[in-house]
Amino acid sequence: MEVLKVSSNSNPNKVAGAIAGELSKNECVELQAIGAGAVNQSVKAVAIARRFLDEKQKDLYMVPCFEDVTIDGETRTAISIKVCTRDQEGVEAEMEGEEQPEDESGFAE
């Protein structure tokens, strides 16, 4: 699985393009981020990549976890986000029968 390292200075549109490109070849890609800013850029990139893949009838899901990485001999804790695709038909079938939120924001009260 390809590992994309994301920093707080990463352009989320470019990361999204890399995610979409990798997911056109493989089922999953891993993002690795250290720090709140890098995690923020990673999540924005996943949201943008989801739009790219919507045209191909694909949806994304992500699984975050902690991971220890060594940088210059120092161990740091990173957030690893595995991003994978699934067909939209499966997502729509899962959502059938689920109770939908009542307000327009999409959030349950």
Structure confidence at residue 105 (pLDDT): 59
pLDDT tens, per residue, the chain with 109 residues:
889 999 999 999 999 999 999 998 999 999 999 999 999 999 999 999 999 888 778 889 999 999 999 999 999 999 999 999 987 665 555 555 555 555 565 555 5
Q: How many domains does the chain have?
A: 1
Can you give the CATH number for the domain in which 78 is found?
3.30.110.20
- For residue 43, tell me if it sits in a domain: yes
Structure confidence at residue 58 (pLDDT): 85
- For residue 109, tell me if it sits in a domain: no
Domain of residue 11 covers 3-88
- The answer to whether the beta carbons of residues 80 and 66 sit under 8 Å apart is yes
The C-alpha atoms of residue 85 and residue 59 are separated, in whole angstroms, by 6
- For residue 7, tell me if it sits in a domain: yes
pTM, entire model: 0.77
